[in-house]
Structure 1
Amino acid sequence: MNDTRSLTVGIAADPTPDLAPPPPMTTTTKLGLGTLGAALLLGLLGDGLLRAFPWGINLPLWVALLIAALFLLAQWQRVPLTGGGRWLALPILFFSGAIAWRASPALTFFSVLALLLSLGLAASRTRAGRIAISGIAEYAMLLVSAGINGILGALFLLFGTIQWKTLPRQRWSGPVMAIGRGLAISLPLLLLFGGLFAAADAVFDGIVRDLFDWDIDKIFSHFFLFAFWSWLVGGFLHQTLLSTFELPTGIERPRFLSLGLIEVSMVLGALNVLFLAFVLVQFRYFFGGAILVEATLGLTYAEYARRGFFELVTVATLLLPLLLLLHWLLRRGEDRQPALFNALSGALILMMFVIMVSAVQRMRLYQTEFGMTELRLYTTAFMGWLAVVFVWFVATVLRGRRASFASGALGAGFATLALLLAMNPDAFIVRNNVARQQAPQPFDRGYVTTLSGDAVPALIETLPQMKPEDSCLIASYLLVGWSAPEEKDWRTWNWARSQAWAAVEANRPALEEMACPGRGDSDF
């Protein structure tokens, strides 16, 4: 009797059998959960910040939060970040900040491109690996790996990295699952009977419509942007902190693609002869000037310059990858190969510098005749970058350090873009074109009105130097196009646009006095 009572009490005291404890949670799972949480939070912030256009302070703010999340997660789980990619946090922050600095669409495009390149390389080389000593092919494969991880990384995180079975089972997990099952069963029934009641009674139908009068398009856009940014951030953080997936970066040259010294020497020798012939012609025009051009070709010097500049830029652009390709294809094995290749390549590069000087001279003459534009300025800057890269090619590839070439070329590109950002090309174009009021070709007032807010302070500054008919139209344009809007979104704040609005407001009385009467929005 007593034994039965004891057994009954024992059963009542422990009504459920003991469950086997889950396996211990690994550090990888903990980091994966933290990465998932950071991705969801940054996705929510991305929806709130980056839905406002045009992008301004919202982009660098969000990018700074992304970089902060990366380093905080690494610090939390003691993930060593010893790769060369960790230093790319500096250009990432700088080029994202450029979006809030300049308003030029061209600079915005190049800054976003530099930002994406930096993020792609950082994702692959922040934990380990080198950035400074990597070939062009390796850079390309790293960027492809970053793209694949950006698209699929969230899947790897959810279904591979995080071991969901190791999560501790809490006492509330059962009730939560029960509530979920209850909602899944009850919602379809509510929709069914609610629809029938709404169809049966007009008053009830009106109440239901008022209660659920939601903007479906807006809800969908919020959900889409939240999911989009969360997915990309999850992929980026997963690759940077957790992923072991990477495409092979070392591309071995197939035997059948190699070229011997004879073939390469013939190609480079033929190009040297052609380049030399062209350079000799250029020397004639360097010393003969406009008189020789007009007498020989029947063209004005400006027309001659206009015809040749972009073709010479194309020549310089094609020569560099050609030399890199020939160097990659050249079979090694003979002691005289590097010396002969270096001599022929070096001669080509020397003549290429003469051709580039000719191109710059043509652009200077062309600009004097027709004025400066964004295309002409950016192409000239591209030529400057090419000149630096050719020098770097000689210092690395021709001296047996090909692996260092790509990082130097990329760094030179970043430096060129930084100089352009500091220079403010739109303002430079305005000042340059206004200064040539006495040039044969008239001042193109229509073109300067297509420039961004970067140009507005310079336009106001140079108005007194313009002809009355030009200053009249420019002043009217500034009043119509750059008066401060009544409503501003802080997320789209941009330094250049804010400076443009402030300059117009500060000079409004003078602009109104100078503006053409009767000009309105439809005139611009």
Structure 2
Amino acid sequence: MQLRMRKEDWLFLLLCLGLGILAEEAFLWSQLGISHFIFIAAFYSLFFWRFRGFPFRNQRLGWLVLGAIWILSASYFLYDIDVFYALNLLAIPALVVFHISLITGPKQADWAKPAFLIHIIKRMFDSIAYNLGFTRLLARMAQRRTKGKNTAVATKVLIGIGISIPVLFVVLNLLISADSQFERIITTVPDWFSFDGEILFRIIAILIFTFSFFGFMQVHLKKRAEIKTILISNHTWGFDPVIILTVLLLLDAVYMLFVGVQFTYFFSGTLGEGYTYAEYARRGFFELVFVSLINLTATVTFLSFLKKREGGLWKAIQLGLSVLVLSSGVILASAFMRMMMYEEAYGFTILRVLVHSFMVFLLIIFAYTLLKVWLNRLSLIHFYFIAALVYYTVLNVIGIDRIVADRNLERYEQTGRIDVAYLGYMSDTGLLTLIDLYKIHPNVPGLKEELRNHFAEAETREEHWQAYNLTRERAREKLMELDLK
């Protein structure tokens, strides 16, 4: 790739170097906290400066995605939930790449089509090619600044060094074996040129970050006329309506039988002999959720790849799909009630509340899919993506750990049972709950020991600016105020 660097390009490279230093400092040397938010602020400040005056596309969705990125990044500073800590390490970079590709992409690109994913992947490879081209540019500039004669001499010197290395290796080993004093001198040579390996690692990390940002943004800054969009023609194949209707009739028959059983026993409040509600709730919960996902996949596949959408056969398929979606709703309701009973019997955890919320999300998805069955103009992929983005972002900010802690306290007031170890492990919000509980009920079994362990950990924990977190700091301050003797 032949490149030409203007003054602004060199300035941008210098700013990317500064961003690379910040990224290395923010991500690699401590637990994430406020550092992630600071990095995102710096990254987008540089991005919008570089792309000032650029005609962005898809701005409404772009602002939604950007808002989600900022909120998810701020969650590292505001909250302390391990599951989101890990998931956001993947979600935020993916959303950043998607966002930049979305608002700088070609006009004719539909972000809900597979072609757009191919476009993103191609752009990532283009950024690597851009950096390789920049490396060749640097080499040509260095060669022009060096006289040809000096270059030839340097080349010959390097060849001589290369030839000498194996010879010196053999000679040095022979001389070391022959004289102990010579061996002592030679073995101390590395100490003369000692180099900290950590510094080398940090330099490499900074360069990787720098050229990742530089190449990716430079490629997207190119004129859209230079972007070769990948167009995928409408599918010419699909499922025969008779095949789809046959599959639907068989599935609907099984689900109607299952729904009948649910209304006869489960929803009516009459279980078979030998079953308690907690045991019944534990059995088959994840299987029901998985069946719902299978049904959703089948419905979307049938709607996307049906050959003909006309006549009485299409009406029959619409009815069959409607029965499938409604049956899936009943299955989800059954799974939802099972989880509620399981929580009442065994307590509340973040995973169980997340599963609860996911089932509500699936019900919304199924409701929209049912509309799609009868209103063909609706777009499933657009709605699914936006709904999933909003759902995941809301999960990060509603404070699920606070909900779990409050529900467990309510359960303790009603039953006298509470899982102290889980609340202490869950998050710093759980630790705050234990501190409040200790002030009211200091004699809860295992509570003081759990708080003592956290107290000892807080005293020895090394604090870094990158890891600063409001919830964690508040829990530490309250913990230090306790008298645990």
Both structures adopt the same fold (TM-score exceeding 0.5): yes
> Is this contact kept in 2: 1:369–1:441, CA < 8 A?
no
Partner residue in 2 for 1:369: 345
- Work out the CA distance in 2 between the residues paired with 1:68 and 1:108: 24
Partner residue in 2 for 1:250: 232
Q: Report the alpha carbon displacement of residue 395 of structure 1 after superposing the two structures with TM.
A: 3.8
Q: Does 1:233 align with 2:213?
A: yes
Partner residue in 1 for 2:74: 97
- Work out the CA distance in 1 between the residues paired with 2:198 and 2:256: 64
Aligned equivalent of 2:129, options 140, 155, 168: 155
Q: Does 1:46 align with 2:23?
A: yes
SS at match of 2:445: helix
> Is this contact kept in 1: 2:109–2:116, CA < 8 A?
no
**365-374 or 227-236: which moved more?**
227-236
Letter in 1 for 2:450: I
The 5-angstrom pairing of residues 459-470 of structure 1 reads 459-463=434-438, 464-465=440-441, 468-470=444-446
Aligned equivalent of 1:308, options 266, 284, 290: 284
Aligned equivalent of 1:318, options 291, 294, 301: 294
Q: Report the alpha carbon displacement of residue 106 of structure 1 after superposing the two structures with TM.
A: 0.6
- Work out the CA distance in 2 between the residues paired with 1:492 and 1:396: 46
Number of residue pairs matched by the alignment? 468
Q: Report the alpha carbon displacement of residue 235 of structure 1 after superposing the two structures with TM.
A: 3.9
Q: Report the alpha carbon displacement of residue 503 of structure 1 after superposing the two structures with TM.
A: 2.1
The 5-angstrom pairing of residues 263-302 of structure 1 reads 263-289=243-269, 292-295=270-273, 298-302=274-278
Q: Residue 119 and residue 353 in structure 1: after superposition, are their counterparts in 2 closer, same or farther (change >3 A)?
A: same
Letter in 2 for 1:93: W
Letter in 2 for 1:301: Y
Q: Report the alpha carbon displacement of residue 363 of structure 1 after superposing the two structures with TM.
A: 0.8
> Is this contact kept in 1: 2:33–2:469, CA < 8 A?
yes
Q: Name the % identity.
A: 21
Instruction: Provide Cα deviations, 1:447-491, integer angstroms capped at 9, x if missing partner.
Output: 22321223221221223357532323333233233x255642111
Q: Does 1:418 align with 2:400?
A: no
- Work out the CA distance in 2 between the residues paired with 1:322 and 1:394: 13
- Work out the CA distance in 1 between the residues paired with 2:108 and 2:432: 40
Q: Residue 33 and residue 444 in structure 1: after superposition, are their counterparts in 2 closer, same or farther (change >3 A)?
A: same
Letter in 2 for 1:248: I
> Is this contact kept in 1: 2:84–2:396, CA < 8 A?
yes
Q: Residue 392 and residue 115 in structure 1: after superposition, are their counterparts in 2 closer, same or farther (change >3 A)?
A: farther
- Choose between structure 1 and 2 for higher RCO, CA contacts under 8 A separated by at least 6 residues: 2
- Work out the CA distance in 2 between the residues paired with 1:433 and 1:450: 14
Q: Does 1:385 align with 2:361?
A: yes
Partner residue in 2 for 1:15: none
Partner residue in 2 for 1:214: 195
TM-score normalised by structure 1 residue count: 0.76
SS at match of 1:277: helix
Letter in 1 for 2:17: L
The 5-angstrom pairing of residues 98-177 of structure 1 reads 98-128=75-105, 134-135=111-112, 137-138=113-114, 141-159=115-133, 173=145
Q: Does 1:436 align with 2:401?
A: no
Q: CA RMSD in A?
A: 4.0
Q: Does 1:446 align with 2:424?
A: no
- Work out the CA distance in 1 between the residues paired with 2:301 and 2:57: 32
Partner residue in 2 for 1:68: 45
- Work out the CA distance in 2 between the residues paired with 1:225 and 1:431: 43
> Is this contact kept in 1: 2:68–2:393, CA < 8 A?
no
TM-score normalised by structure 2 residue count: 0.82
Partner residue in 1 for 2:474: 499
- Work out the CA distance in 1 between the residues paired with 2:8 and 2:21: 20
Letter in 2 for 1:142: F
Larger Rg: 1
Letter in 1 for 2:279: E
**Structure 1, gaps ≥5 residues long:** 1-22, 514-524
- Work out the CA distance in 1 between the residues paired with 2:149 and 2:338: 75
Q: Report the alpha carbon displacement of residue 248 of structure 1 after superposing the two structures with TM.
A: 3.0
> Is this contact kept in 2: 1:110–1:417, CA < 8 A?
no
Q: Report the alpha carbon displacement of residue 175 of structure 1 after superposing the two structures with TM.
A: 8.3
- Work out the CA distance in 1 between the residues paired with 2:149 and 2:19: 27
Instruction: Provide Cα deviations, 1:221-248, integer angstroms capped at 9, x if missing partner.
Output: 1132113212322343134323856673
Partner residue in 2 for 1:341: 317
Letter in 1 for 2:83: A
- Work out the CA distance in 1 between the residues paired with 2:282 and 2:266: 16
Letter in 2 for 1:282: Q
> Is this contact kept in 2: 1:427–1:454, CA < 8 A?
yes
Q: Report the alpha carbon displacement of residue 369 of structure 1 after superposing the two structures with TM.
A: 0.4
Q: Does 1:408 align with 2:383?
A: yes
Q: Residue 429 and residue 165 in structure 1: after superposition, are their counterparts in 2 closer, same or farther (change >3 A)?
A: closer
SS at match of 1:469: coil
Letter in 2 for 1:293: L
**Structure 2, gaps ≥5 residues long:** none
Partner residue in 2 for 1:9: none
Q: Report the alpha carbon displacement of residue 365 of structure 1 after superposing the two structures with TM.
A: 0.7
